[in-house]
Structure 1
C-alpha cells in the first residue's frame, strides 16, 4: 500500500447502523430519541455503532484538500479515524441532534463537514434517518434543518429512511410525556437496514 493510500474497506451491507449524536447533554431530549431508535433497530438484529460527537475529539475541516476527497487520509488525527470505518461499512446513517439556531448542532456539523475526507467512498447505496428535538413548536421550526438534511441526502445519493421531529421538547420531562420516543423506537423497528 502506498504512502497516501487508504486500506480497502468493506462495502455497505449487512445490518450495520451508525448513529451520530450531536448533543452535549447525555440526559437530553435528543439522546432519548437516539436511545429509543437504537433499541428498536437492535430488535431487528442490527449491529449499531454510536458516536456521541459532543464527547469526542473532532477537529473542524480546514478545507486544505490534502485528503483529495478520500484519496489520502485526513491530516487531522482525531476520533474521526474511529468513526470513518463504521460509516463506510454501514448502510444506515442516523443523525440525531438538538435544534441549534434552526440547524444541526455545531458538534454534529463538525462530523458532517469531515465527511469530505471519505467523500468519494461514501456516496451512494446508503439510507439515512434524522432524529431531532427543539424547544420551539411552531410549524416552521424544523424547516431549515430538514432542508439541510434532505440536501445532504441528495448530494450523497442516499435515501431518506425517515424522520422523528420532536416539536416543543425543550426538557427531558416534556419529551418523556410525548409520543416522540415511541415514534423513534417504532422507526428503529421498521426501518429497512439491509
Structure 2
C-alpha cells in the first residue's frame, strides 16, 4: 500500500509544479480563435488574435484576470476589480487584461457569456478583453477550472503576484498595494 501511495504522489507532483508561481516568466498564451475584442470606427466588435507577447510591462503595470465564463467566477473577482477602480491609479500606468475562458461555461450559456464580454468591452473600452474559446490559458497557466485567477507582472514580464481562486480582503489589499508600488516605479 505505501508503494501505491508513493507512485500516486509521484504522478501528481509534476502537475502541481506546472502551476504559475511568483518569479516565473509568464508562459506565452496565443489565442487566434476569437482572441481580443476590439472596437472599430462604428463601435462594432471585431476579434483579432491576441498574445501575452503584446503586453507592455515596461510602460504599464500589467494586471491579468483569467476567469471561467460563469457568474460565480466574475463574482469571485469582483471585490478586487471594485477596489482597483476605487483606488484610481493613473490609467496610463496600469492596464487590466481580462481573459475569459469560454470553454468553461455553464451548459448552454456560451452565447450569453460572449455577449456579456462584448457588452463589457463597450463599457470598459480602455481595458483589454480576450475570449479564450478553447481554455488554453487554463492549461498554459495551470489554473483550476470554474474559477478566477489574478496575475500581476513586473517590469520584466515576470509574475509578481498570482492567486488562483477567490481573493480574501487581505489578499486584495496586498495586490492593490503591490500595484501601487509598481505604478510608483513607472512615474
TM-score by length of 1: 0.33
Larger-Rg structure: 2
TM-score by length of 2: 0.34
More strand by share: 2
